[in-house]
Each structure stands twice: as structure tokens, then as C-alpha cells.
Structure 1
């Protein structure tokens, strides 16, 4: 598929699960933001791949740049979701979710490239998440001891009560180095409500979606963003680790962080030092757009800056 490059704005850019990688570069007064996300026009159908965009002001974006296109023998054909890209070990690593052809289950795999604009190629042998689980939205977390983890969602459609799990990875990120640990379940948060699903009407559904971890600069607290639903409207919540470590216990803020039909968020720092939340809203294809709002910490809690 041909993607002629052009400049577009947030109001024109259809993208879900936005993820921003800020790279200052060498000798550049203003750095470059690399924007990734679920970019197929119909992400519920056949998967084309992932596109990325570059910009300097979080409003105007150049692209699309095709950063991943599957080879004919790739293990998935549909549901290409939620790419996240990190600088790691001298390379650029992508975590992304795909629906496997062999068992029709979702899983998060690891891809690799020498450049943030790819091309990314498979690094792991298929998804790293448990083969017998339907899992999605894997994100990378490296603890204070240098141990890499994948934090991901054990899908609510299979469990009823969606789980956020953490799993140790090998140093090269190619495979699991331990069994998954459940960090919390969706119903444990005070702000979530059951999700009414016609397809899964025979079970009580609580959704987990899009985990992302970051530390505050004020007190080095460890926070975890994740999405769910309030009265069937997409919403974003946040939890804080009581121990400062990945194993928690995870203490949920009483109120959702964002309730305007937005979710699957991540946090990054702008080149001027602002803590910025990237989120997609509304949660309806093809209307989803990237939105960037500033965060601040008040009295030990994260809030959207007024």
C-alpha cells in the first residue's frame, strides 16, 4: 500500500493506542517526537502493519512512515494493535499485539530495528505472552535491578474479570523468564463498573486494557496507567505501587484519571520537561484521534492539569 508523506494534525489523524518516543538527537535545539499506534483504518479486521509519524510540536505530524509490514509467512493476519517502541540495548524494540493464526488468540510479540522508523522485524518467536492465554497490550518495564518485565492484560473476554499481569523477560527480550504474576484485577479498582457486552452476556465483565508504567520525578513513585469502562464509556485509571516495585501492592486512585471516552494511554516528558499524557478519544472507529494533556502530581496522586 502506498502512503504518500504529508503533514497532518491531531484532528485529522486516525490512530488508536498512541505511543510517543521523544528523541532529542545530537546537536538539535528541538528534538523529534515519534508517534506510533494502531493505524489500520479498521483495526478489528485484517492487519496491514504499523505506521509512524514524526513531529516537533505534538500537533503537526509528518508521515505516515511504514515501520512494520508482515512477511507472507507471518504468524498473524488480523488485529495488529498497540505498538510501543523503546531504545534498548543499542536497538529499537517494539512490543505489539497480534491475533495468532494457529490458535486465534491475542498475544504480544517483540520486534526489533536499528532505527525508530524501522523496518521492524520479528525478534521473538511469536508472542511472548502465554500461548494458551488471550493477552494484549504488553508494555516494557525495567526494574531497579535491571530486570526487564512485560506488563500486559489477560483479556477480560476469557477471564470475565480482566487481569493486569507482569512477567519477567530474558535480557534479550526474546522470551519469558518466569511465570506471569497477577498485579490486580479490574474489579478491584473503585471506579470501574461492569461492561455490558452482548457477545459475552453470560458472564460479569470487567475490562483491563492498555497498561503503562512510569515513575514520578517528585518522589520516584511507581505509577501504572490502565483503561476500563464506567457505565460502558471508556475511561482511564491510575494506580500507585505501595512498595515502589512492580509487584505492588497496587493502590488505585478513587476516581478515574480521564472519563471523556478516552483510554489506552501512556506518559512521556516533553523536551521542555512537562509530564504529558497521550491518549486516544473517542473510543469509536474511525473517529479516534490522539490527544495530549499535561499531568501533575498533587498530594501523592496524579491529576490532569487544569
Structure 2
């Protein structure tokens, strides 16, 4: 199958060179908003063009706490294991990020730790792993606009086993800090979605993240002026991708070409994964004309 045949939101690509394989994860389009999801699937490819699958990567057992809105899985390699950071929801419980673990990118993934690593009384989503300059693991995630109006981008330390949070989250920035962001409802509600951190070769630290722009769902870039997770974070004035597509991440293909993975359009049920070449331009990133 081709990418146009795969109904996914929030596409995340894990290239594994020793396998010669790309692994594609994402929010299952069919159950993104309604219905009971089966879990998360994974697709595989040798060339980013022809894909096989879906294969079941995570299937919850009867004791798993969440039964709806399984969103935005992304898989990171950490200390020889594969860790899936994903968003879940249940009736009477706040949306939360749970970390899962497996020995192989195909899974099966199983819960890592006793439950979510986001605060129990916060509506949260879109956790991503960041390992700082001292080798300490952190999770960057969103404190959702539905609860706080001006969505927050937050970070929290994780244990070495990635099975629990250490201490309280810290706020990195808020959605309305970026001039390209427009309110999603009324005039005081601003979205934070989809953080993804990029450490440049020269040590600079960037973050891709999504919100609503003037032409729909969009991706912007934030810069840490200190080069550290604590920031301060400076927002670029215009979006990297500004027209009805988002939740981006970067990966290098096996030819070391840098690609941006997003879903487009941001309209259900039309959303599909798409890859776009990007390049470093000074201290930022630019889309490359094909």
C-alpha cells in the first residue's frame, strides 16, 4: 500500500537502520474521535513508498484504564528498549500520557509503570521523550487548552526506567506566545499540540509544535535561547507549515535526507500521512521545494 491508503493522524516514523526498515505509528483515523479503539498499529516499509501492515503494536488487556481516544503514539529507543509515549482517555478521568515498553518496534507494547505520568487532575496529551545534556530523561507534553484556555507546553523529569514522573511539571511556554497562532474558540483559547525536540549539530535546541494558524492547523518552531530545555523559549513569527496540516516530527531517511512527517489535511476522515523534505537554514528549518 501507499501512504494515501493509510488512514492515520499524528504520523510518527522510527527508522531502524539495522533492520533496514521504517516503522510508522499514529492515531488510527477510524477511531480518532468516536468508538472504542483496538489499540495502536504499526506499518513497515523499506523505501518510504511501499508499506505493509497494519500489524498490532499495542492491544490493551482487560485491566487497562483507558477505553477511548487513543492518540499520537510515538516510539523512542532508550537504553536498548522501545518506549511508546501515547495519549489515552476514559470516562471520569483526565486525558493523560502513558508510557509503554517493548523489546522490538513491532511490539507487543505493554504498560510501563503503574499508570499515566502526567498529573491526575490535568488534561494532558502528546508526550515526547527528551534526553538532556546530562543524560537525564524528560517528557515534554501539552497541558490542554480545554482546561487552561491558553494551552501550555510543559516538561517533567522521568525516572531512569521511564515508568514515573519525578517532581512537578514546569511550564516552558504558552500557545499565545507565538504570533502566528490564532484562537480556536472565542478570543482566549489557544491550542498546544505535538511537541518534537530537535538538537542541531551545533548544539542549538529547537521544538516543533502545532496549533491553529490563520489557514488552519499548522506547525511552528520554538528556539531555546539557552540551548537547554528550561529555555527561555523564543517563537518564530511565521509557521513552518501553515495550511491545514500538522502534528509534525523530523526523521532522517537511510540516505540522511531530513524529512518532516505530518498528517494532511486536518479534516476527518481525509487525513493521511505525508513526508516533506526540509533543510537547516541558519538557526532554523525551511521546507524544501520538491
TM-score above 0.5, yes or no: yes
Unaligned runs of 5+ in 2: none
| 1:247 is the counterpart of 2:253 | no
Distance of 2:29 and 2:179 partners within structure 1? 34
Tell me the alpha carbon deviations over residues 79-111 of structure 1, each in whole angstroms, 9 at most, x when there is no partner: 00111111112211111100034x331100011
Distance of 1:299 and 1:76 partners within structure 2? 43
Which residue of structure 1 lines up, in the alignment, with residue 45 of structure 2? Answer: 55
In structure 2, which of residues 82, 103, 107 is the aligned counterpart of residue 92 of structure 1? 82
Q: Could you tell me the TM-score, scaled by structure 2's length?
A: 0.96
| 1:221 is the counterpart of 2:221 | no
Which shifted more, 52-61 or 140-149? 52-61
| 1:110 is the counterpart of 2:89 | no
Which residue of structure 1 lines up, in the alignment, with residue 112 of structure 2? Answer: 123
Classify 1:261/1:277 alpha carbon distance in 2 versus 1 (closer, same or farther; 3 Å). Answer: same
Distance of 1:206 and 1:40 partners within structure 2? 24
Tell me the alpha carbon deviations over residues 118-140 of structure 1, each in whole angstroms, 9 at most, x when there is no partner: 11011121210011100000000
In structure 1, which of residues 7, 11, 17 is the aligned counterpart of residue 10 of structure 2? 17
| 1:296 is the counterpart of 2:279 | yes
Distance of 2:150 and 2:136 partners within structure 1? 28
Q: Which stretches of structure 1, 4 residues or longer, exceed 6 Å deviation after superposition?
A: none
Distance of 1:252 and 1:303 partners within structure 2? 15
Distance of 1:47 and 1:185 partners within structure 2? 31
SS of the residue 1:187 aligns to: helix
Which residue of structure 2 lines up, in the alignment, with residue 68 of structure 1? Answer: 58
Unaligned runs of 5+ in 1: 1-7
Partners of 1:195 and 1:231 within 8 A in 2: no
Tell me the alpha carbon deviations over residues 186-230 of structure 1, each in whole angstroms, 9 at most, x when there is no partner: 00011101112xxxx5x721000011101123x221110100001
Which residue of structure 1 lines up, in the alignment, with residue 196 of structure 2? Answer: 212
SS of the residue 1:158 aligns to: helix
Distance of 1:221 and 1:305 partners within structure 2? 21
SS of the residue 2:47 aligns to: coil
Partners of 1:22 and 1:32 within 8 A in 2: yes
| 1:183 is the counterpart of 2:178 | no
Which residue of structure 2 lines up, in the alignment, with residue 4 of structure 1? Answer: none
Which residue of structure 1 lines up, in the alignment, with residue 157 of structure 2? Answer: 168
Distance of 1:53 and 1:122 partners within structure 2? 21
Distance of 1:268 and 1:160 partners within structure 2? 31
Quote the offset at 1:232 in angstroms. 6.6
Partners of 1:195 and 1:232 within 8 A in 2: no
Aligned residues: 288
Q: CA RMSD in A?
A: 1.3
Distance of 1:232 and 1:207 partners within structure 2? 14
SS of the residue 1:180 aligns to: strand
Tell me the alpha carbon deviations over residues 158-210 of structure 1, each in whole angstroms, 9 at most, x when there is no partner: 000000000000110100012101000000011101112xxxx5x72100001
Which residue of structure 2 lines up, in the alignment, with residue 80 of structure 1? Answer: 70
Quote the offset at 1:40 in angstroms. 4.7
